A = this chain, B = another copy of it.
Amino acid sequence: MLNKLDSILSTNMAAAKRSAIREILKLTQNPNVISFAGGLPAEKSFTVDDIKTCMNEVLETNGTKALQYGTTEGCVELREQLVKHYKSQGVEIGVENIVITTASQQGLDLTAKIFINPGDKVIVGLPSYLGGLSAFRAYGGVPVGVKFDEQGMDPVELEKTLAQMENDNDMPKFLYLIPDFQNPAGITYPESRRQELLDIAEKYNLLVIEDSPYRELRFDGVEQKMMYELDKSNRVVTLGTFSKILAPGFRIGWVIAHEKIVEKYVTAKQAADLCTPAILQMTVAKYMEKGMLQRNLDKTIDMYRIKRDLMLDCFRSYMPEGITWTEPQGGLFLFLNLPEGMDSEELFHIAIKNNVAFVIGKVFHCDGSGQNTMRMNFSFPTHEQIDTGVRRLADAIKVMLGD
């Protein structure tokens, strides 16, 4: 059978690669390596005791419901908490606008399943989140990249791309955007940019996927309205997750959209995994209800702000001339630019010998560009690791520069 295996794979599977990031993470499991490669929350942000309290209460008061099959839409108590959460931001939705997913990666997978036929184009940023690209490609989707400026996706470039696609009668299925603390670029789109992009989506009558895993993690600056809120014609689908603000190990995310779009997600999810663990959904609902989420979020934000500041300070102290970086107002990542012509993949091999790791920027660029870029995570490493790791990285860069 195994001889034949490759010949019976689906076309999409035959083209699939294992996630470059996850493979890189394996390389960095050497305990001497300081890794800025992952996207892991700090373990100090996990409030184990609070979670235990909520879970025990759920099992004591509602154990059989927590352990039985749940609805595909998700537990009502959790959806009600999310309605409140958005209301506090001024966004009016009802429980019927929400479906709970097995974290936001499933939100991306279902998005692809619902909208993508093999060969369909989708618009993504240059750069864009690799997990999004993988999910779209797994259904035969073809990402078309649009360049960024310092405010996010460039509307002039987008218009140019769409006009060309319209001319070729090959319109994309949707725009995929991460407007808050973009992964990997660390950029936040100002409201004016969000509106400009929405106006373009309106003009071409396109769906917009607003992927928003980091929105709640703002360290400073002013909160920008969600594209879901700015949208006037039910074209925005927003993906959220508790992975970065409670615990990735819970795998609880959500999709927000018009009821008619939510219905498609429910149908797609039924065949994918029927429902998301009720016990975890009910625990999260209780955790929110008790105000634990907000309390822990405040602490996490303080912790990450200090780490970001420290990383930026280390950059300023240790990096040679000619290296630039983004200064994110939140989230987990910042993005480094090496001088034009320098290859971050080459740097990676030098760096790993120096016991420091990052993710090469090329994997976030669907057109293969971005060779001189790299993503750095600041949420997971300790203060000491940030200082030592950035120093090692700067040394590796100096070696490459021939200093």
Contact between B271 and A16, CB atoms less than 8 A apart: yes
Contact between B16 and A268, CB atoms less than 8 A apart: yes
Query: Please, how many angstroms separate the alpha-carbon atoms of A173 and B10 in the complex?
Result: 10
**A residues 259-316 in Cβ contact with B at 8 Å:** 260-261, 264, 266-268, 270-280
**A residues 125-148 in Cβ contact with B at 8 Å:** 131, 134-135, 137-139
**A residues 239-256 in Cβ contact with B at 8 Å:** 243, 247-251
Which of A48-56, A330-338, A361-369, A390-398 is the contact stretch? A48-56
What residue in chain B is nearest A141 (Cβ atoms)?
A: B10
Query: For residue A4, which residues in chain B have a CB less than 8 angstroms away from its CB?
Result: 205
Interface size class of A (residues with CB under 8 A): 35 or more
Query: For residue A187, which residues in chain B have a CB less than 8 angstroms away from its CB?
Result: none
Query: Please, how many angstroms separate the alpha-carbon atoms of A19 and B269 in the complex?
Result: 11
Contact between A251 and B275, CB atoms less than 8 A apart: yes
Contact status of A11 and B277, CB under 8 A, knowing A68-B40, A272-B272: no
Contact between B43 and A273, CB atoms less than 8 A apart: no
- Residue A114 interfacial (CB < 8 Å): yes
Contact between B64 and A46, CB atoms less than 8 A apart: yes
Contact between B248 and A1, CB atoms less than 8 A apart: no
- Residue A30 interfacial (CB < 8 Å): no
Q: Mark A38-49, 1 if CB is under 8 A from B, else 0.
A: 101101001010
- Residue A116 interfacial (CB < 8 Å): yes
- Residue A9 interfacial (CB < 8 Å): yes
Query: For residue A271, which residues in chain B have a CB less than 8 angstroms away from its CB?
Result: 16, 19, 105, 109, 131, 134-135, 137-138
Query: For residue A10, which residues in chain B have a CB less than 8 angstroms away from its CB?
Result: 113-117, 120, 139
Contact between B43 and A52, CB atoms less than 8 A apart: no
- Residue A13 interfacial (CB < 8 Å): yes
Query: For residue A69, which residues in chain B have a CB less than 8 angstroms away from its CB?
Result: 38, 40, 243, 248-249
Query: Please, how many angstroms separate the alpha-carbon atoms of A268 and B135 in the complex?
Result: 9
Query: For residue A267, which residues in chain B have a CB less than 8 angstroms away from its CB?
Result: 13, 16-18
A182 to chain B, nearest CB (A): 19
- Residue A185 interfacial (CB < 8 Å): no
Contact between B8 and A173, CB atoms less than 8 A apart: yes
Contact status of A5 and B261, CB under 8 A, knowing A46-B64, A274-B103: yes
Say how many copies of this protein the assembly contains: 2
What residue in chain B is nearest A206 (Cβ atoms)?
A: B1
Query: Please, how many angstroms separate the alpha-carbon atoms of A74 and B31 in the complex?
Result: 21
Contact between A270 and B19, CB atoms less than 8 A apart: yes
Q: From A66, A134, A247, name the one whose CB has the most chain B CB atoms within 10 angstroms.
A: A247
**A residues 94-134 in Cβ contact with B at 8 Å:** 102-103, 105-106, 109, 113-117, 120, 131, 134
Query: For residue A102, which residues in chain B have a CB less than 8 angstroms away from its CB?
Result: 102, 251, 273
Contact between A48 and B64, CB atoms less than 8 A apart: yes
- Residue A63 interfacial (CB < 8 Å): yes
Contact of A8 among B64, B207, B233 (CB under 8 A): B207
A33 to chain B, nearest CB (A): 17
Q: Mark A186-229, 1 if CB is under 8 A from B, else 0.
A: 00000000000000000001010000000000000000000000
Contact of A260 among B2, B103, B258 (CB under 8 A): B2
Q: Which residues of A are at the interface with B, using a C-beta cutoff of 8 A?
A: 1-2, 4-5, 8-13, 16-19, 22, 38, 40-41, 43, 46, 48, 51-52, 55-56, 59-60, 63-64, 66-70, 72, 102-103, 105-106, 109, 113-117, 120, 131, 134-135, 137-139, 173, 205, 207, 233-235, 243, 247-251, 258, 260-261, 264, 266-268, 270-280
A-B contact pairs, 8 of them (CB 8 A): A2-B261, A10-B114, A16-B268, A51-B63, A103-B274, A134-B270, A250-B279, A273-B273
